Amino acid sequence: MAKRLFGTDGIRGVAGQSPLDPATVTALGIALGTDLKHHAPDLPVLIGMDTRESGPAIAAQLAEGLAQSGVHTEFAGVVTTPGVAWLTRTGAFSAGVMISASHNPFQDNGIKIFSRTGYKLPDAEEHEIEEEIFRLLPEVKPHAAPESLKANFNSRPYLDFLLSTLSVPLKGLRVVLDCGNGAASALAPALFREAGAQVTVIFNEPNGRNINLDCGALHVEHLRQRVLETGADAGIAFDGDADRAMLIAPDGRLVDGDAAMLIAAKRLSLDGHLTGNLLVSTVMSNLGLEKALAANGIEMLRTPVGDKYVLEEMLRRNAALGGEQSGHMIFRDFATTGDGMLTGLKILEACVRENKALDQLAAEMVVFPQLLVNIRVAQRKPLDQLPQVVSLIRECETALQGSGRVLVRFSGTEPLARVMVEGPDTATVEIWAHRIADAIRTELA
C-alpha cells in the first residue's frame, strides 16, 4: 500500500497545516515512540531543526508525543540534517529527527527521521508509523508550546568530526560561504575557518522567514558576484538544512553536483578509495558526467531521483561515493546521508592536494545542454494515462537519435511535474522540453 504522509524525504508540507498540524505531529511523536520501544526502549531521541520560525513549535509537539509514549528527548537546537544523522549514530540515541523542509521557502517545514544507525527509516517502518498515526489522530489533543523545549545537547563533536576528514588543511584558500540563512549559518563559518581557509560569509543572519530567500544552493547569483568581486578561490552555497552544496569557481562557473562528483570520484579513485571504481547518481545527472567518468575508468550507475534511492544502491553495490546533480553527495566512508559542509571540505581538499584551481578541476566535464521545466499540477496521473504526453516523449526520443535523453517524473516533495530534456544543442532541448511541458499543463494543470 502506498504511503500517505511520508514522501521521498520524510514528511513535508505547509507548517501548521496537515500533515504538519499540531495533532498530526503529536500523533507522529506517539507513534514513533511506540515503534522505538521495540528497538531501543531506554534511549532518548535527538531532535534538531533549521532556522524556520515554525521549527520550535513542531519540535515541541513532537517531543510531547514522544513523552506520552514514554520516550525522552534531547534537543540540539539549530543544526544541519547530516549533523543530526551523525550525532544520532555516534551517540546513545534510539533515533534522530530533523525539523526542516530543506530548500523550500520558510512557510513549509518537514520532519525527517533517522534510525539509530544514522540511516533514514525503511519504507516498511514508515508505513507502520503512518498507520498508527491515523489510528491515534481522533484522540490526540496537543498542548505543547514552542518555548517548552530548550537546547540541551552540544553539536560541537560533529564539527570536530568534519575537520578530522581532511588530509590537508585548507590554508591559504579564500572562500565565500552562502549559508542560505539556514542551519549552516553559525556552523559553516566556524568550520571552514578552523580548517584553515580565509572566509567571507553572506546570508548568515536568519530571522525565521528568510531561509533560502534569494540565496543558498538554489540561488547562487549573489555568491557568484561576491566570488568575482573578492577574487576568491571558491564559493560554497548551502540549502536550508545544509545537506547539499553548490560551488562557484574563481571564474564564476557553477560547479554543480555533477561536476563535484567528478572531482571527488577522480580523487577517491587516485587514492584507491573508490570501491569498484563506481559512482552512483540519478537519472538527472548530465550525460557529460557519465562520459567524463568513463574516460577515467569509472563506472556510473543511475537511480530514480532522491538521495534515499542513491544510498540504497550504494549499499547494495558497496559504493563509496554517490550523489545528485542538485548538490547532494554521500561520502559513505564518512556519512550516511548527503552533507553540504563535508562536500565543500572534500572538494576544496582536492584543490589543495592537486594544486589546481576549482575551475581547472571541473573543466574535464563537458556539459550537454539540459533543461528542466517544472509544471505545477493539480493532480498526479500515471504517464500511460496521458496519451498526448507519451506521444511527445516518443517523438523527442526519436528526434534525439541516441544523442540525448528525456525524463518526465512527478516530484516526491512538491505538487510538480518535472520535464528534463538533454541533447546536442540548446535549441533542440528547449523546443522539446516546452512542447512536453505544455502538454502536461493541458492535461493536469
- pLDDT for 401 equals 83
Side-chain-facing half-sphere of 441: CA atoms under 13 Å: 9
Domain boundaries, the chain: 11-154, 157-362, 370-444
The edge-to-edge listing of strands for the beta sheet with 73-78 is: 11-14, 108-115, 95-99, 45-49, 73-78
Residue count of the chain? 445
Where are the extended beta strands (E) located within 225-283?
Answer: 234-238, 245-248, 254-255, 278-282
Per-residue confidence (pLDDT) for residue 209, from 0 to 100:
98
Q: Is residue 350 within 8 Å of 263, Cβ to Cβ?
A: yes
Amino acid at 193: R
Choose, from 102, 155, 281, 326, the residue flagged as catalytic.
102
The answer to whether 285 is a known catalytic residue is no
Quote the CA–CA distance of 120 and 130 in Å, as a whole number: 15
Rounded Cα distance between 159 and 162, Å, is 5
Residue 146 CA to residue 217 CA, distance in Å, equals 29
pLDDT of residue 385: 87
As assigned by CATH, the class of the 157-362 domain is alpha beta
Q: Nearest CA to 95 among 5, 29, 152?
A: 29
Residue 40 is predicted with a pLDDT of 67
- H or E element in which residue 25 lies: helix 22-36
- 157-362 and 11-154 share a CATH fold: yes
Superfamily of domain 11-154 in CATH is: Alpha-D-Glucose-1,6-Bisphosphate, subunit A, domain 3 (3.40.120.10)
The pLDDT value given to residue 306: 84
Q: Could you please state the CATH topology (level 3) that the domain comprising 370-444 is classified under.
A: TATA-Binding Protein (3.30.310)
pLDDT given at position 2: 66
Quick one: pLDDT at residue 129?
Answer: 94
The position carrying cell 513549509 is: 108
Whole-number pLDDT of residue 167: 96
- Residue 162 C-alpha cell reads as 568534519
Which stretches of the chain drop beneath a pLDDT of 70?
1-2, 40, 148, 445
Burial 139-176 (b: 16+ CB within 10 A, else e): ebebebeeeebebebebeebbebbeebbeeebeebbbb
Grid coordinates representing 396 are 523527442
Compute the radius of gyration of the chain from its Cα atoms.
Answer: 22
